[in-house]
């Protein structure tokens, strides 16, 4: 029997980390968010994200990678990045809401 792992979620959508890159959303939906931690700073004994590059990506495989970037922004801190990411993703997935 395959081992199932529980994914970390934020506002009901998966949040997956690979190195300094975080992916937010389901890859089978039309859009997903990619966040890249550009710089970090040390606070006490912890290293935290300082500058984060946020991109809203179209997941359609027929779209060229350069054209897949729908929106992009640079935010200071992971909180600000997650805030804009959740807004962009919600609006992209529910354009009439």
pLDDT tens across 40-67, in order? 999 999 999 999 999 999 999 999 988 9
Q: What would the two tokens of residue 39 be?
A: 């710089």
14 touches 6 (CB < 8 A): no
3/1: higher pLDDT: 3
Q: What DSSP string runs through 8-20?
A: PEETTEEEEEETT
pLDDT at 4: 61
**pTM of the complete model:** 0.87
pLDDT at 73: 96
Q: Residues 8-44: pLDDT tens digits?
A: 999 999 999 999 999 999 989 999 999 999 999 999 9
- Element (DSSP H or E) covering residue 47: strand 46-58
Strand 69-76, strand 13-18: pairing: unpaired
Secondary structure of residue 72 in the 3-state scheme: strand
């Amino acid at each position: 029997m395959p081992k199932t792992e529980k994914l970390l979620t934020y506002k009901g959508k998966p949040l997956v980390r690979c190195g300094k890159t975080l992916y937010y959303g389901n890859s089978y939906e039309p859009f997903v968010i990619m966040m890249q931690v550009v710089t970090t700073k040390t606070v006490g004994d912890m290293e935290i994200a300082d500058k984060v590059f946020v991109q809203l990506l179209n997941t359609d495989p027929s779209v060229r990678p350069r054209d897949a970037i729908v929106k992009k922004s640079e935010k200071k801190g992971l909180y600000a990045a997650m805030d804009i990411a959740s807004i962009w993703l919600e609006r992209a997935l529910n354009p009439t809401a």
